[in-house]
Structure 1
């Protein structure tokens, strides 16, 4: 499969549709084939065609996805980043953290981080001797105060899940750089279309591609996109001898093997092609929903970066192309929140987010149950919406009926 064309100067949607996806040289197929094979014929010992020998180590469908994701996260005209596709977002995070951390290291992470990321860092890596501090990432002085000589990673989510906090990526990149640490940005909520952290100084971008990139609630996956030239903290070497983060991640991806399968890669690639048009509808609908909720008498607070009432509104406008499709709101009590999520018809009660269909959930009992009792515990009266691409008036009417 030829992937020789340089799309780095093209616009976002052109890159998402074409980068790594040139027509098949043998048949002319305009869609990348699903290479459902575990192994590849060698032309003599070590005579690999295109570098492929075994699908854990590399598969042409996964290569196409990795190339396209890297192009989507690379600023226009810049040297391409390197993309890596995994079986889930947490598999991507686990591989990255094992690639860059050692026992005794320290991580700074958001005080409202995604529960799965917190569980991985606090419980799995905590048992391995990695320490962490949860801090309000919107307070740069607090972040700087949390940094230690052993800090190797500053972990950022913006917007955060589920409280939709907005952090200044460029400013945090400066704090991390001064500390000799990597700035890692979970870009799942914004998607590459709405935000490009590498352009703002991030070293690594993390995605659960299950969400907006895949976009259709039909595939689980994760990705890492590593900035060109990002080096390992503390002067470390990758197991294969290089000093680049990408070298260590490439080794770890193959060594631990939690890779995206060919069909999952194909589905995710299919989703990426329409990301831009979907995100425009997601955020148009989300704004309509947020404005409706803001004037509803039974809603005590609406949290959406696209509203002027959001404390991060100006920063979101500066570093994002739009405010995204996630809306959270508070209704005063857990009982009321549970009642609302049980009464919707168009919004489906379910975990996850980023699909074409609208979802509603209660973070305290569902997605964020794992952080109950910790510094990351979420308000009991909080409701989280993943606003889909249905007709906005139907979404508003559904919430109106559910709120009574």
Structure 2
């Protein structure tokens, strides 16, 4: 007599059988999948937002240009603040690869306030600077409201506020007669600048012309026995992109031949690029939180599958009595766990992509979702579902038909 060989279930039939438990307990299944969805959404959103922010920042760097160098007065060997030579900008402009040079000078003796009634200690961390008239195109920013300094207003008590300085002073627009208390007297506000990404010091500054700083703020220096505009403290140098490294090497020596060690030279775009790379440093923390959520979701899946096995002992016994093998029972419950995790992972990926798209739109970034984000989210959800459902599936397959049918 030929022994009967149990028939194999087709994939479609197996999927339909596996979905019975999920459809019969929809609320419990949804709550169990929620943990998987939250973890997957966190992973996708973290990687998506990080990639989108880096892409946005790198695009901003390309737009502003990578050929800007800054030279600032550093410290002398004695530890005191060094001073750049008066003729430093003129020296630098003679370099063949240099296209533009602008400079500012910090006026340490002057502070800016909204009115003379403000306590002197409430400086709002704002700085008064004298600025050359070609500053804005060199640092790649422009006027948001009002006007920039010109050859006439640079000699008068007129000031232009950086974006942050205007905000801290409570000035959101420029109108006729708008004034601030600067250096112990009234200065008229001519304009407010847009944020200077490559020169953040400008954002917290009140900018006046060099002649006005000499005339009204006593910012002067003596050159060959004559009074001259005060020495610069920061110089902004635009050079040919192909010659940035060469200019960087000689910039300190050119600015101050006698003491090049007292000049600090930097490339602002390098700092922005480093910030783009450093923005991923926090990814590990949020990815860790996402993994914790996935583990919590896995516990929920394992819990619902164990309860499902206990509640469905009669079903298991009946199927075994009708010829279902242990492997088919094991596959049924394992498939349920994987399907539950897959649904949670799919919802999580959709939520993570949506969160990334909405936030990137508010920041005017391109939406970038790395393939490893959504693929890793779905893959990790399925893997966790398989691991969470393995023990309940083995338990169900090992249940004897006679023992299971006792609950019928």
TM-score higher than 0.5 here? no
TM-score by length of structure 2 reads: 0.23
**Bigger helix fraction:** 2
In our comparison, the structure showing a higher alpha carbon Rg is: 2
Instruction: Give the TM-score taking structure 1 as reference length.
Output: 0.23
Q: Larger relative CO (CA 8 A, sep 6+): 1 or 2? A: 2
